[in-house]
Amino acid sequence: MRVVLTGASGGIGSALAQALLQQGAHLLLVSRSADKLQTLQARLGSASVSTLVADVTQAQDRAKIVAAAISFQANVLINNAGIPSFGALQPLPPEQLEAVLHTNLLAPILLTQGLLPHLTRQAAAHVLNIGSVLGRLGLPGYSVYCASKFGLRGFSEALRRELQFTPVRVQYLGPRATQTTFNDAAAARYQQHTGTHTDTPQQVAQAALRLLQSADAECFLGFPEKWAVKLNAVAPQMLDRAFRSHTEFVMKGE
């Protein structure tokens, strides 16, 4: 695998870079942070790792990523860059809503579109979108984040079907809450209050590897999250009461 990985310097991104490298992949790591990229590259300590400082929300930077990916002869794109959003919808600043939807949804769509002509010329290629279990399960306090991840999952599903007769396989990974610095203190209190289970970034990375090596379209992590995703697909209102404590926490603004 010759992998372009966005959001590489974050918790899941760095764990995924390590896991891919251990499997013999060549990596082009993309992040907005030059310092974090440099630290990660030094930690990985491999000639198989290249880096690119770029912001996926900026058109000129996406063009840089596409050009670098073609030169790198990439056959895997992992859209992992993302930003959080937690809290009741009403007080959220409009610019935060725009940033979340731009980063988590529009940017990976545009980057995939830009790289697709190259990927379809490969003997075999992958697009792996790192989403969230909240791409299939609407949770109080995460309306905007859910919107971005529901959109990313829908994009993945539709594009997978669109490209089914090409060499490109499109997949979606839905982690549950992960032990990183991604969420703020309020989200952490929410998780503690509601008894949310978490995984390590390494567990998410291993799940991503398994998905890449499989023919599966998507994968969601954790129990009861997997069960809730299935129930939500057929009887969503049955879960409304199950999230009562989540709603109370959010609406109290704790």
Q: b vs e for 23-50, b when ≥16 Cβ sit within 10 Å of the residue's Cβ?
A: eebbbbbbbbeeebbeebbeebeeeebe
- Please pick, among 142, 145, 172, 190, the residue that the annotation labels catalytic: 145
* CB-CB neighbours of 88 under 10 Å: 14
CA neighbours closer than 13 Å in the CB half-sphere of residue 137: 25
Identify whether 145 is a catalytic site residue: yes
DSSP for 1-40? -EEEESSTTSHHHHHHHHHHHHTT-EEEEEES-HHHHHHH
Q: Which residue, among 152, 139, 167, has the nearest Cα to 111 in the 3D structure? A: 152
Q: Identify the bridge partners of residue 31 per DSSP, sorted by sequence position.
A: 53
> Please, what sign has the CA dihedral across residues 71, 72, 73, 79?
negative
Q: Which residue, among 32, 49, 31, has the nearest Cα to 41 in the 3D structure? A: 49
| Cβ proximity of 179 and 199 under 8 Å | yes
Mind telling me the catalytic residues?
145
